[in-house]
């Protein structure tokens, strides 16, 4: 079974969204937010691709779960991951996404990495570190995501503000 950074992020936003995504129901191609995010990466720091490395990582957990992640901008010299986001509305999910990257690097023998979450349109940055308690949390939610992946039951709607900008909004609320 594969678990990636997107699922770690989505799990912290909405378990229903995580379930829909992991069951192959993808509506991101219709989402302006996703397009917007991609554009932000390309336009905010145009020289970034030359300075930092893009790396793809994987690790096997308990011989059964394959963890994967792709870090777009890694500064190998300073051991810093740079992750750019537009809005800090789901900052907690962003934090867990980069903590997962730090942990994946650690599982591959690269220790003492930190991450900087960058919100260029808000002129806001957040330094993220990984603690032992964070690793326990990641292990626990990976178990939960693994259960979600094999479950036939779609979790309930969360009726939150964030729903309005979710690519599944119409699917969740169209009949209401």
Of 4 and 71, CB closest to ligand SF4:
4
Report whether 128 contacts 116 (CB < 8 A): yes
Stretch that binds ligand SF4, among 13-21, 23-31, 68-76, 115-123 (CB under 6 A): 13-21
Minimal distance in Å, beta carbon 156 to ligand SF4? 8
Candidate residues 7, 11, 16, 95; the one interacting with ligand SF4 per rule CB under 6 A: 16
DSSP secondary structure string for all residues of 64-126: TEEEEEEEEEEETTTTEEEEE-S--TTHHHHHHHHHHHHHHHHHTT--S-EEEEEETTTTEEE
Minimal distance in Å, beta carbon 50 to ligand SF4? 36
Site for ligand SF4, residues 132 to 171, rule: CB under 6 A: 157-158, 162-163, 166, 168-169
Candidate residues 17, 83, 95, 118; the one interacting with ligand SF4 per rule CB under 6 A: 17
Report whether 113 contacts 83 (CB < 8 A): no
d(CA 93, CA 109): 25
Minimal distance in Å, beta carbon 137 to ligand SF4? 21
| Beta bridge mates, 116 | 82, 127
174, 176, 171, 167: which is closest to 37 by C-alpha?
167
Of 17 and 83, CB closest to ligand SF4:
17
Report whether 12 contacts 163 (CB < 8 A): no
| Site of tokens 């178990």 | 143
Minimal distance in Å, beta carbon 106 to ligand SF4? 30
Minimal distance in Å, beta carbon 160 to ligand SF4? 6
Contact residues toward ligand SF4 (CB under 6 A) are: 14, 16-17, 20, 157-158, 162-163, 166, 168-169, 172
């Amino acid at each position: 079974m594969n678990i990636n950074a997107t699922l770690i992020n989505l799990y912290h936003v909405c378990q229903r969204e995580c379930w829909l995504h992991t069951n192959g129901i993808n509506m991101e191609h219709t989402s302006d937010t996703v397009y917007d995010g991609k554009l932000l990466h390309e336009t905010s720091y145009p020289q970034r691709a030359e300075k930092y490395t893009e790396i793809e990582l994987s690790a096997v957990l308990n011989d059964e779960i394959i963890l994967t992640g792709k870090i777009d901008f890694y500064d190998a010299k300073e051991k810093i991951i740079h992750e750019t986001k537009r809005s800090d509305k789901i900052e907690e999910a962003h934090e867990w996404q980069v903590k997962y990257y730090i942990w994946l690097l650690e599982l591959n023998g690269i220790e003492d990495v930190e991450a900087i979450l960058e919100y260029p349109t808000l002129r806001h940055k957040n330094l993220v570190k990984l603690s032992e308690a964070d690793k326990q949390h990641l292990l626990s939610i990976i178990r939960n995501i693994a259960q979600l992946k094999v479950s036939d039951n779609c979790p309930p709607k969360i009726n939150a503000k964030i729903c309005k900008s979710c690519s599944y909004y119409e699917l969740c609320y169209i009949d209401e």
